[in-house]
């Protein structure tokens, strides 16, 4: 999933807590990355948990799936 992390950083998403949870203050999502898969969640209460307890809305297992979702939902 290193390619996914590189992709997210190139779009100004950061992993502030170094816990594989990427956020961008301009978007209501958090992107969580694990070794086998990742998931995109709605960030719920960004002031307290930065999306840790958000609702899962998409799961991806490849950079291509992440890029397609990103293009369709964020469009940057």
Q: What is the pLDDT of residue 43?
A: 72
Residue 32: domain span = 2-73
The predicted-structure confidence for 30-71, as pLDDT tens digits, reads as follows: 899 988 789 988 776 555 555 566 778 899 999 999 999 999
Q: What is the pLDDT of residue 36?
A: 79
Q: How many distinct structural domains can be found in the chain?
A: 1
Instruction: Please give the full DSSP string across the chain, using - where no structure is assigned.
Output: -HHHHHHHHHTT-B-TTSSSEEE-TTSSEEEEE-SS-EEEEE-S-TTTTTTTTPPEEEEESSHHHHHHHHHHHT--
pTM for this prediction: 0.81
């Amino acid at each position: 999933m290193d390619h996914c992390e590189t992709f997210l950083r190139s779009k100004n998403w950061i992993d502030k807590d170094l816990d594989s949870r990427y956020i961008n203050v301009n978007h209501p999502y958090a992107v969580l990355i694990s070794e086998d898969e990742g998931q995109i969640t709605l960030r719920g209460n960004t002031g307290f948990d930065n999306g840790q307890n958000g609702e899962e809305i998409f799961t991806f297992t490849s950079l291509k799936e992440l890029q397609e979702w990103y293009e369709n939902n964020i469009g940057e």
